[in-house]
C-alpha cells in the first residue's frame, strides 16, 4: 500500500531535522516530528539537547516541557503520530532509557518510520516492540534510501 501524501510530507520534515544533526562516528543522525491534526507539536534531532540525546527523545522532551507550561499533562498526545527517520531504538549502549520505552510511556499511538536501524551498534527490535505494545507502525519505503543517506558518515 502506498504511503499517504500526509505521511510523506511530515517524514520530509523529519528528514530536514535529521540533517541538523552533527555527524559523529558513534551515533546516527535522526530526525523526529510529533504531529496531531496536521499541527506539529514538537520536533527533534539527534544530539539536539544535552546528554547524547536521540531525536525521538528530544521531541518528546520538548513536548513534555510545552505540556508542563500549559498544564496539559500529555493530552496533546492522544491521536498523535510520531514521524522518525529511523526505527526508534530498543536498547541503548549508554544505559539510558530507549526511545521505544519513551514512546510507550508518553502514549503515542502511531509511529511512522523512514528506515530500520542498521546493526552498526546494537540489534534493534524497535518496530517489533512498538507493535507488541499495540502501537501502529508504518514503514515509509519511498524515503528509506534518503533516510539512510543522513548516515553516510557511518558507511551506510
Mind listing the pLDDT tens digit for each residue in 107-117? 999 999 999 88
The pLDDT score that the predictor gives to residue 96 is 86
The pLDDT score that the predictor gives to residue 71 is 53
The pLDDT score that the predictor gives to residue 28 is 92
Q: How confident is the model at residue 3 (pLDDT cuts 50, 70, 90)?
A: confident
Side-chain half-sphere CA neighbours of 12 within 13 A: 8
- CA–CA distance from 47 to each of 27, 62, 66, 105, 118 (Å)? 9, 13, 19, 21, 19
Whether residue 56 lies in the annotated active site: yes
Distance CA 153, CA 99 (A): 22
Beta-carbon contacts of 7 under 8 Å, excluding residues fewer than 6 positions away, are: 81, 83, 112, 138, 140
- CA–CA distance from 39 to each of 20, 51, 77, 153 (Å)? 21, 28, 12, 32
Question: Does pLDDT of 103 surpass 80?
Answer: yes
Q: What is the grid cell recorded at 102?
A: 519513551
Q: Are 138 and 3 spatial neighbours (Cβ–Cβ below 8 Å)?
A: yes
Distance CA 141, CA 62 (A): 28
DSSP helix/strand/coil, 42 = strand
pTM: 0.92
The CATH class given to the 5-154 domain equals alpha beta
User: How much of the chain exceeds pLDDT 70, in percent?
Assistant: 93
Mind listing the pLDDT tens digit for each residue in 26-84? 899 999 999 999 999 999 999 999 988 999 999 999 998 876 655 555 667 889 999 99
The pLDDT score that the predictor gives to residue 125 is 87
The pLDDT score that the predictor gives to residue 126 is 87
DSSP helix/strand/coil, 111 = strand
Pick the catalytic residue from 5, 16, 56, 136: 56
The pLDDT score that the predictor gives to residue 75 is 66
Amino acid at each position: 500500500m502506498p504511503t499517504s501524501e500526509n505521511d510523506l510530507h511530515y517524514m520530509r520534515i523529519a528528514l530536514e531535522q535529521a540533517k541538523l544533526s552533527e555527524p559523529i562516528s558513534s551515533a546516527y543522525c535522526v530526525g523526529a516530528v510529533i504531529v496531531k491534526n496536521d499541527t506539529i507539536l514538537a520536533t527533534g534531532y539527534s544530539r539536539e539537547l544535552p546528554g547524547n540525546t536521540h531525536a525521538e527523545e528530544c521531541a518528546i522532551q520538548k513536548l513534555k516541557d510545552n505540556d508542563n507550561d500549559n498544564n496539559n499533562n500529555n493530552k496533546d498526545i492522544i491521536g498523535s503520530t510520531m514521524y522518525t527517520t529511523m526505527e526508534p531504538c530498543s536498547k541503548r549502549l549508554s544505559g539510558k532509557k530507549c526511545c521505544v520505552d519513551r514512546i510507550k510511556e508518553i502514549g503515542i499511538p502511531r509511529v511512522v518510520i523512514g528506515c530500520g536501524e542498521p546493526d552498526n551498534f546494537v540489534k534493534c527490535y524497535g518496530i517489533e516492540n512498538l507493535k507488541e505494545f499495540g502501537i501502529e507502525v508504518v514503514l515509509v519505503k519511498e524515503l528509506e534510501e534518503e533516510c539512510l543517506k543522513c548516515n553516510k558518515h557511518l558507511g551506510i
